[in-house]
Chains A and B, each alone.
Chain A
Amino acid sequence: MSTPTLPRPSRHRREDEFTGERHVYEPHTVGLPPLRSYARELWRRREFAVELSRTKLREQHFDTAFGQLWLVINPLLMALVYFVLIDILRASHAGGLKFFAHLVAGLFAFYYIHNSVTVGVKSVTKGGRLILNSAFPRALLPLSAVITAFMRFLPTLVIYVPIHLLAGLPVGPHLLWVVPIFALLTLLACGLSMLVAAAQVYFRDLSSFLPYVLRIWLYISPVLYYPERVPERYKFILDVNPLGGLLTAWSDVINRGHAPTASSLLLGLAWGVGLFIVSALFFMSREREFAVRL
């Protein structure tokens, strides 16, 4: 901060308030903004991300009783449809309620990611005026989509609990593993949301391809079947699928009643952290261009 040596005219504001903010804008040689101050600005404006998501949810009548009810009924109906479908295809009742619990838990986790991506993809391109008219860390927009997805995930927990108990699945301290696994899912959701939001700026038709990609992703993830039922020659799909390890661990903990295997956890960790870092760097290196691209 340049210290004034010359006498200053009297001001009605405190000096530190006046010079409290100093901004320097220079071209970035590597294309990345200074990371530490970026993270600080991001944290300082977290309320914006929360408020944006709240507004979005209000738009979808999340705050009304029927809106909430719909959010609960919709995933439950979806789970029922898949359950019936799989039951018919297998022509046996091998799994029963326990399998239904696996299906529901997996679908809800998958839809947390699904919603983060589908809400996130248009977060930047829809922020047009705001992006053109004020300077703020753009990552707030896709991150706000993850908050929205999280708020939609919460009511599904309420549905899952009775199913878990009805299926007679074990309840114990092993369930605490859910916390780190969910944290990794969140990291993955943040990464993917930033990735697709930035890509959407360059390819505006991405959002129309996404539903198909997500549908295929659901089918290759261990949601509609138990992870160990994947034939040996297709096991590699679980490794290259960012959700393979995490959903395996998720099902192990919730539906099998034991701690996740180290391999599935490490795989999930690698995908979650890796994708987050790569996407965040990609997003930040591109975000200063968004204003001219919209």
Chain B
Amino acid sequence: MSSLSVSERTAISVEDVSVTYRTSFERAPTLRSTMLRLGRRERVVREIEAVRNVSFDVPHGTVLGIVGANGAGKSTLVRTIAGILPPTAGRVEVHGRVSTLLALGVGFNRKLSGRENVVLGGLAAGLKRDHLAEKYDDIVAFAELEEFMDMPMRTYSSGMYGRLAFSVAVNMDPDILLIDEALSVGDARFRRKSAEKMRELCGEDRTVVLVSHALGTIQELADQAVWMDKGQLRMWDDPDSVINAYTEFLEVKQDAVTLEDV
């Protein structure tokens, strides 16, 4: 657990990263509304500074927990590390194969079966077909969805959805696993099982970035923690200190409710 020892090489290095993006208020941008707006000469674009000048390093084999209120930029930060969103400034360097489990998504097409979604997701992530076939049974077994894999994913419950997503992410042999709010899925038994799997992965010298509101999970699994507040890095320390400061900031007592269910 000597997570801060210098002999470890860096898995993820985030250097002074800022992510700014423009969003429009319209639900769905259309040619028609653009024409109408041009006529009125108004612009409905807002710049959002989701992440501002954040820097930290994650050594190999470390579990990094990220905490923060809603809209603090946690998910944006993780997506930047995954290479999904480009940084507006700064630099992100990632060493190793990344597997992402962001906001509970394996599947993108709910009309397709679980099997098709797993295969497509894996191929998109750059895995080879034979590697995928090799891992497929493990994935299904871990998610405990044997009899559901050929059914369209729209028939899945949200728990089943989450279980499959988690199972895909952890069974892909990632060097770096990025998890966003995922451990809270499934029933108590599956949660225990996923926490165990996470511990196992961490023991195998893998790097995990874990975003969660379940402070108890962070406290238990993480070696380091980062607290994000309004896009900025508020604190980067060991999990206990970060969670103490964070809960103090929230002015709530660190009771069982905040630990598990907030």
Given A55-B120, A202-B29, residue A25 in contact with residue B89 (CB < 8 A): no
Residue of B22, B88, B93, B123 near A48 (CB, 8 A) is B123
B102 contacts A133, C-beta separation under 8 Å: yes
Interface residues of B, CB < 8 Å — how many?
Answer: 57
Residues of B within 8 A of A23 (CB): 83, 92-95, 98
C-alpha gap A128/B121 in the complex (Å): 12
B126 contacts A41, C-beta separation under 8 Å: yes
Task: Write the B90-103 contact mask toward A (1 if CB under 8 angstroms, else 0).
Answer: 11111111101111
The reply to whether the CB of A7 lies closer than 8 angstroms to some CB of chain B is yes
B96 contacts A18, C-beta separation under 8 Å: yes
The reply to whether the CB of A28 lies closer than 8 angstroms to some CB of chain B is yes
Dominant SS at the B interface?
loop
C-alpha gap A208/B78 in the complex (Å): 35
Within B1-31, which residues are at the interface with A (CB < 8 Å)? 6-9, 21-23, 28-31
Measured CB to CB, the closest approach of chain A to B95, in angstroms, equals 5
Measured CB to CB, the closest approach of chain B to A284, in angstroms, equals 12
A45 contacts B29, C-beta separation under 8 Å: no
Residues of A within 8 A of B31 (CB): 203, 205-206, 209
From A8-16, A89-97, A169-177, A239-247, the one touching the partner chain is A8-16
C-alpha gap A133/B125 in the complex (Å): 10
B103 contacts A133, C-beta separation under 8 Å: yes
Residues of A within 8 A of B106 (CB): 133
Residue of B86, B121, B175 near A18 (CB, 8 A) is B175
Residues of A within 8 A of B22 (CB): 292
Task: Write the A115-157 contact mask toward B (1 if CB under 8 angstroms, else 0).
Answer: 0000000000011111111111000100000000000000000
B84 contacts A21, C-beta separation under 8 Å: no
Residues of A within 8 A of B80 (CB): 25
A204 contacts B86, C-beta separation under 8 Å: no
Q: Please name the residue on chain A nearest to B79 by beta carbon.
A: A291
Tally the A-B contacts, defined by beta carbons under 8 Å.
143
Q: Please name the residue on chain A nearest to B14 by beta carbon.
A: A25
Q: Please name the residue on chain B nearest to A125 by beta carbon.
A: B28
A204 contacts B29, C-beta separation under 8 Å: yes
Given A55-B112, A132-B103, residue A20 in contact with residue B97 (CB < 8 A): yes
The reply to whether the CB of B40 lies closer than 8 angstroms to some CB of chain A is no
B29 contacts A203, C-beta separation under 8 Å: yes
Given A18-B175, A25-B92, A128-B108, residue A135 in contact with residue B84 (CB < 8 A): yes
A-B contact pairs, 25 of them (CB 8 A): A7-B7, A8-B9, A11-B205, A12-B204, A19-B95, A21-B95, A22-B96, A23-B83, A23-B94, A24-B91, A25-B93, A26-B86, A26-B90, A27-B89, A45-B126, A132-B79, A133-B102, A133-B106, A134-B124, A135-B84, A203-B29, A205-B32, A289-B21, A292-B85, A293-B29
Q: List residues of chain A with CB under 8 Å of any chain B CB.
A: 2, 4, 6-9, 11-12, 18-28, 41, 44-45, 47-48, 51-52, 55, 59, 126-136, 140, 202-206, 209, 288-289, 291-293
Can you add 16 more A-B contacts, CB < 8 Å, to A59-B111, A132-B84? A7-B7, A23-B94, A23-B98, A27-B89, A51-B119, A127-B108, A130-B121, A133-B102, A133-B105, A134-B82, A134-B84, A135-B83, A136-B125, A136-B126, A205-B32, A288-B85
